[in-house]
Structure 1
């Protein structure tokens, strides 16, 4: 599944990065970004766990 992180909402907590590091990383501004597709269940868990709902399916 491909994900998108809204940089206007992301607070850079890193939860998505720690849970699915093959899909998410923190950029130079300290905000998360999706850099690859990942397993549907893992990406959905990151979407569900995001404390500010900044991640969505792309």
Structure 2
């Protein structure tokens, strides 16, 4: 899975942005897709990929 740097998910939020300005449907789709990718990698015993995907999951701002 490729991480899209142009997405608003990867951008740091400015302090003046409000919580409700976040595109929550886009965040939810990103998280669900990433979770599915992690589960698939676990099923295939591809633990290097699992580690890579977990890093993405925990470091997206």
- Using the size of structure 1 for normalisation, the TM-score is 0.31
**Which structure dedicates a bigger proportion of its chain to helix?**
2
- Using the size of structure 2 for normalisation, the TM-score is 0.30
